[in-house]
A and B are shown apart, each in its own frame.
Chain A
Amino acid sequence: MTGIALDQRVFVGDQLQPGRNDYPAIELGMTTFEVRAWNDTAALLRATLVPFNPMRALLRDCPLIARVSIPKRFGSLTHRSVHMATRTLQVAALATSALVMIGLAGCAGGSSTSTDGAKINIIAPSNAPSDAGFQAVTDAFNASQSEVQATFTPVTDYETTRAAQLSANSVDVFVCFPRQAQGFTDEESTEDMLMAEAGQFVDLTDQPFMDNYIQSVLASPRSTMDGKVYAVPTGLSYATGVYYNEKIFDDLGLAIPTTWDEFIAAMDAITAAGITPFGFGGKDGFPAALPLYGILGSLYPEDADKQALLEGLWDGSVDLTTGKPLEAMERLQTIYDNTSDASPGSSIVETIGAFANGEFAMMFDGSWDQKSVTDVVGGKFDFGMFPLPGGDKADQNRSLNGKIELQLCASSTSANQDAAIEWLEFFSQPENYTTFVKASGFAPAQPDIVTDDPFLDSISQYASDFRLFWESIVVAPQAIAPEAKVGFEYNLLSPLGTNTPAEAAAAAEAAWDAVR
Chain B
Amino acid sequence: MTNATALFPFRRRGALRITFYGAWIPILFFLFVPAVITFVLSFTDIRRTPRLPWAWVGFDNYTDFFNAGRLTSSLTVIQNTLVYAGLTVLVGCGLSLGIALLLNKPLKGRTFGRAVVFMPTILGVTVIGLIWSIIFSVYGPIQGLLGWFGTRSNFFGDPKIAFYLVIFVVIWGSLGTTTIIFLAGLQAIPAELYEVAAIDGASPRQAFRHITWPLLAPTFTTNLLLSVIGGLQGYSMIYVLMGTGRPYTETLGMAVFSAGFGSGTTTQGFAAAVAMIQFVLVGVIAMVVLSVLRRREVKL
Contact = CB atoms under 8 A, between A and B. Distances in A.
Direct touching of A and B (C-beta under 8 Å): yes
B181 A58 contact: yes
A41 interface: yes
A483 B247 contact: yes
Interface string B252-263: 000000000111
Contact of B154 (A195, A285, A344): A344
Contacts of A43: 210
Contacts of A350: 137-139
Interface in A134-159: 157-159
Contacts of A74: none
A351 to B, nearest CB: 10
Interface string B235-271: 0000000000111000000000000011111110010
SS of A interface (majority): helix
A430 to B, nearest CB: 33
B183 interface: yes
Given A53-B299, A346-B138, A160 B202 contact: no
Given A63-B184, A194-B53, A350-B137, A345 B261 contact: no
Interface string A279-316: 00011010000000000000000000000000000000
Contact of B49 (A191, A283, A479): A191
A288 to B, nearest CB: 10
A57 interface: yes
Interface in B250-300: 261-267, 270, 299-300
B157 A54 contact: no
Chain B interface residue bracket vs A: 35 or more
Contacts of A198: 51-53
A483 B73 contact: yes
A194 B52 contact: yes
Nearest to A62: B184
A200 interface: yes
Q: Which of A282, A482, A485 is packed against the most chain B CB atoms within 10 Å? A: A482
A292 B227 CA distance: 44
Contacts, number: 167
Given A41-B196, A479-B70, A512-B69, A52 B261 contact: no
A38 interface: yes
Contacts of B159: 491, 496-497
A413 B263 CA distance: 23
B153 interface: yes
B70 A159 contact: no
Interface in A28-51: 37-39, 41-43, 45-46, 51
Given A345-B153, A479-B69, 13 more contacts: A39-B197, A39-B210, A42-B211, A52-B215, A62-B180, A163-B50, A345-B158, A350-B137, A350-B138, A479-B67, A480-B70, A510-B68, A515-B67
Q: Which 4 A-B pairs have the closest CB atoms?
A: A345-B154, A345-B157, A38-B200, A511-B69
Interface of A: 37-39, 41-43, 45-46, 51-55, 57-58, 61-64, 157-160, 162-163, 166-167, 190-191, 194-195, 198, 200, 282-283, 285, 341-342, 344-346, 350, 413, 476, 478-485, 491, 496-497, 510-515
